[in-house]
Amino acid sequence: MIIQDNEKRLFTLQTRSTTYQIKADQNGVLLHTYYGPKLSGGDLSRLIRFADRGFSPNPNEAGNDRTYSLDTLPQEYSGSGAGDFRLPSLELELSDGSYVADLRYIDAKLQSGKYTLEAMPAFFGSAEDADTLIITLEDAAAHVRVELLYGVFEAYDLITRAARIVNCGDTPVRLHRAASLCLDFPSADLDFITFDGGHVKERGLNRTRLRPGVQSVGSIRGISSHQHNPFVMLCEPGADEEHGTCYGAALLYSGNFEAAVERCQFEDARLTMGIHPFHFCWTLEPGQTFTTPEAALLCSPSGFGEMSRQFHRAIRAHLLRDVWQDRRKPILVNSWEAFYFDYDHDRLLRFAREAAALGMELFVLDDGWFGHRNDDCSSLGDWWVNKEKLPGGLGALSKEINALGMEFGLWIEPEMVSEDSCLYQAHPDWVLNPAGRPYTRGRCQLVLDYTREEVREYIFQALQKLLDNANISYLKWDMNRALTQVWSVALPSGRQGEVYHRYVLGVYALLERVRQANPHTLIEGCSGGGGRFDMGMLYYTPQIWCSDNTDAIDRLSIQYGTSFAYPPATMGAHVSAVPNEQTGRSVPLETRGTVALSGTFGYEMDLGTLSEEEKTLVVRQIQAYKESYELIQTGDYYRLTPPSPDGAPTAWLHVSSDRRSALLSVVSGQVHAGPPFRRVKLRGLDPALRYRLTGDDTPWPGDVLMQAGYPLPMLGEYQSLRLWLKAE
């Protein structure tokens, strides 16, 4: 609900558990008065105190009042060059060469339903689900207007934000920074939590106290990156899964981003999030508008767990689209870790028969099926089948797979081109690279210039031809290198600062076109695993390959970190062979299953190497996936114990929304002699109900399981447990 008081120019955004308030003061400065646990309302600007602070200058409207400074007031969307020296939200370069952005309130309007963003991902919602507030600000001297967009999803405590920057003057304006989100906090006594790592070690949780100055994470790699996720949190120092106020902020964007937090001089704090200003410069001609990506904010007054669950619910209902919102994802088998590039028709078919016999539902042909690709140094861009490997083509292969009772899926990497390809030979100027400059290669490949319509058109036609000529019900959309030499022949020299963002818009445009032309095709996002695991991609690809690291023990940390913002049912998770390709570790098949069963489940190994006993276990795992999918898809997720370097077990719980059934998963780490007796305290159950646990005839009261905990059996190294709880 949005309460608008026009007289006081006061806007109060009320959600189920939180309040967010904005006020335009007597000078038109847009103040942020409060965000946190729900309050009854009223004008909270009375919380703001004024004092004469040396070296904090006073805007013209303040006259001689030295207590009024943009440098000390909590701002809703900070300007720059006009007296607020904290993190800026907006940086403009005007035609006279000045760099000032100083915004004042013009007006505000409410709309029912959630605003939409043209050509960019955004949460969606009808009048029943969401409301929109649009506040217009203006820098009168620059003739630039800023529309701040707010979407309020009351039931989910979700507030989305975006900004539209409009050049209302008659000379061009250059935009050097346009944040999606600016959030001021009255106290900097906060912890900053980020999700960091690298390729094969994505989204590890890092927590640090705010120190004076700016701390930031971001990406200048052209993708949201393996290194830092565009999701960050701030929380009270004592906050944990169940306690304390915490804030989560996500950017729905798959390119360069920055999330920065500043502990300021008076021990207040500011968070900004948006497109990274690195090499960003966007020219707005008179009358033109620039729209920022959307940011999603969620505050939980009761710890991280509830924040995550609210994000999960909101993503499932208002970000994932169409049929994939509810439909069970098929159990897939992927050829990559089974054969890499080394296969032909007969080998694939043998593999498919084995998969079908075990009950797998979707056969995914990964890299290596096109052009003359036998390693990763050729053929990207030549999206036609390699007839030496697959003489009958994809049409015939998909028919054979379908005849085995499985769907057929295909790997593509449509944003890339190999120099050793017909596409590159025909169009060497279609790559991102300044003319005459030597290439920087990544995995031997170059990046196509997706800012250009003709490039996207060519790729669309090539992909559509594949989709029209074979029965392909799944695409794995991969992307295996970072962007360098970011320069497009299609833009003049003064506008090259637009290329990074135009590239992302180009990727979104093509994804949307493919999606719309093939609404029943499931697209799984992938960027060398989790290099683009963000809410922007989820809008187009309802599942994303979590990591190229399929080691079940490493996956515990990767999936744990990912779960803070993203629902388990969006995380691609496969059982692979041992010793694991990445770590050399051998983990029992049962445990590999326990970990993968918490995501979008599949197998990625040569099934021909399985013993009869292992095959029986695989069949049981497939059955287990079918039985638990709905709970995992629609239930609530509880992180019970975090993955631990000292080897203590990691535990998590899925609980149905009526709290009558739940699924406990536990994986033991390294084991040392003389281990302690361990109990794990469950959460989210009904304390008054009694639950029957798998293999235990005596029911357990919910309050005992939650307050005293469930006594774990002695698990050996890397062993696991998967227990159902059913209310009597």
Question: Which residue from 308, 200, 205, 193 is spatially nearest to 555, judged by alpha carbons?
Answer: 200
* Residue 698 CB contacts under 8 Å (≥ 6 apart), including other chains: none
3-state secondary structure of 237: coil
Query: In the bound complex, what is the minimum distance in angstroms from residue 527's beta carbon to ligand DGJ?
Result: 7
| Token pair in block for residue 171 | 């000379």
- Active-site choice (157, 184, 420, 478): 478
Determine the Cα–Cα distance for residues 496 and 231; give it in Å rounded to an integer: 27
Task: Tell me how far, at minimum, the Cβ of 476 lies from ligand DGJ, in Å.
Answer: 6
Which of 180, 480, 656, 720 is in the footprint of ligand DGJ by CB under 6 A?
480
Q: Which is nearer to ligand DGJ, 130 or 364 (CB)?
A: 364
CB nearer to ligand DGJ: give 8 or 443: 443
381's tokens: 């861009």
CB 264 → ligand DGJ: shortest distance, Å?
A: 41
Q: Does 551 bind ligand DGJ (CB under 6 A)?
A: no
Angle at 532 between CA 376 and CA 481, to 5 degrees: 30
Q: Which residue carries 């250009």 as its tokens?
A: 452
CB-nearer residue toward ligand DGJ: 197 or 528: 528
- Is the CB of 102 or the CB of 366 nearer to ligand DGJ? 366
Residue 154 Cβ vs ligand DGJ, minimum distance, rounded to whole Å? 38
What's the rounded Cα separation, in Å, for the pair 476 and 175?
A: 35
Q: Which is nearer to ligand DGJ, 389 or 722 (CB)?
A: 389
- The footprint of ligand DGJ on residues 116-135 (CB under 6 A) is none
Instruction: Kindly tell me which residue out of 105, 115, 411, 691 binds ligand DGJ, with binding defined by CB under 6 A.
Output: 411
Single out the catalytic residue among 548, 551, 554, 636. Answer: 548
Of 673-712, which residues contact ligand DGJ (CB under 6 A)? none
Q: Which is nearer to ligand DGJ, 451 or 600 (CB)?
A: 600
Residue 282 in the binding site for ligand DGJ (CB under 6 A): no
Run of H or E residues at 332:
strand 332-334
Could you say whether residue 637 binds ligand DGJ (CB under 6 A)?
no
Minimum CB separation from ligand DGJ for residue 290, in Å?
Answer: 33
**For residues 37-66, which are near ligand DGJ according to CB under 6 A?**
none
Tell me the residue ranges of DSSP E strands in 569-660.
571-576, 600-604, 636-641, 650-655
Could you please report the per-residue DSSP string of 342-383? ---HHHHHHHHHHHHHHT--EEEE-SS-BTT-SSTTS-TT--
Q: How far apart are CA 28 and CA 689, in angstroms?
A: 55
Q: What are phi and psi of 547, to 5 degrees?
A: -170, 150
Binders of ligand DGJ: how many residues, by CB under 6 A?
12
Please tell me what DSSP assigns to residue 676: P
Closest CA to 24 of 35, 32, 16, 12: 32
- 268 contacts 187 by C-beta, under 8 angstroms: yes
Between vectors from CA 207 to CA 205 and to CA 211, what angle results, nearest 5°?
150
Nearer to ligand DGJ, 84 or 202 (CB): 202
Q: Is 606 an active-site residue?
A: no
Residue 603 sits in the site that holds ligand DGJ (CB under 6 A): no
User: For residues 349 and 366, what is the distance between their CA atoms, to the nearest angstrom?
Assistant: 14
- Interface with ligand DGJ, residue 479, by CB under 6 A: no
How many whole angstroms separate alpha carbon 247 and alpha carbon 544? 24
Using DSSP, state whether 711 is helix, strand or coil.
Answer: strand
CB of 574 to ligand DGJ, least distance (A): 9
Shortest Å distance, C-beta 335 to ligand DGJ:
9
What value, to the nearest 5°, has the Cα angle with vertex 322 and ends 319 and 328? 95
227 vs 272, which CB is nearer to ligand DGJ? 227
> Nearer Cβ to ligand DGJ, position 139 or 548?
548
Residue 366 engages ligand DGJ in binding (rule: CB under 6 A): yes
Least separation in angstroms between residue 502's CB and ligand DGJ is: 25
Task: Decide: residue 170, CB within 10 A, 0-12 exposed, 13-18 middle, 19+ buried.
Answer: exposed
Residue position matching structure tokens 């989100």: 181
Applying the rule CB under 6 A, the residues between 486 and 545 that interact with ligand DGJ are 526, 528-529, 545
Q: Minimum distance from CB of 551 to ligand DGJ (Å)? A: 14
The answer to whether residue 478 is catalytic is yes
Smallest separation, CB 360 to ligand DGJ (Å): 17
Is residue 378 close enough to count as binding ligand DGJ by CB under 6 A? no
Closest residue (Cβ) to ligand DGJ? 367
Q: Specify the 3-state DSSP secondary structure of 706.
A: helix
**Is 549 in contact with 589 (CB distance < 8 Å)?**
no
411 versus 424: smaller Cβ distance to ligand DGJ: 411
Please, what is the minimum distance in Å from the beta carbon of residue 376 to ligand DGJ? 6
Bridge partners, residue 231, by sequence: 250
Return the closest-CA partner of residue 253 out of 528, 480, 535, 482.
Answer: 535
**Rounded Cα–Cα distance for residues 208 and 213 (Å):** 13
DSSP-assigned letter for residue 148: E
Of 196 and 376, nearer to ligand DGJ (C-beta) is 376
**Residue 230 or 602: which CB sits closer to ligand DGJ?**
602
Kindly state whether residue 548 participates in binding ligand DGJ, applying the rule CB under 6 A: yes
Q: How many residues does the chain have?
A: 728
Strand order in the sheet with 720-727: 636-641, 650-655, 661-667, 720-727, 690-693, 700-701
- Quote the least distance from Cβ 382 to ligand DGJ, whole Å: 15
679-718 burial: b if 16+ Cβ within 10 Å, else e = ebebbbbbeebbbbbeeeeebbbbebbbeeebebeebeeb
**x-marked contacts with ligand DGJ along 318-337 as a string, rule CB under 6 A:** ------------------x-
369 Cβ partners below 8 Å, 6+ apart? Answer: 385, 386, 389, 390, 394, 410, 411
Binding region for ligand DGJ (CB under 6 A): 336, 366-367, 376, 411, 478, 480, 526, 528-529, 545, 548
Q: Where in the sequence numbering do the catalytic residues fall?
A: 478, 548
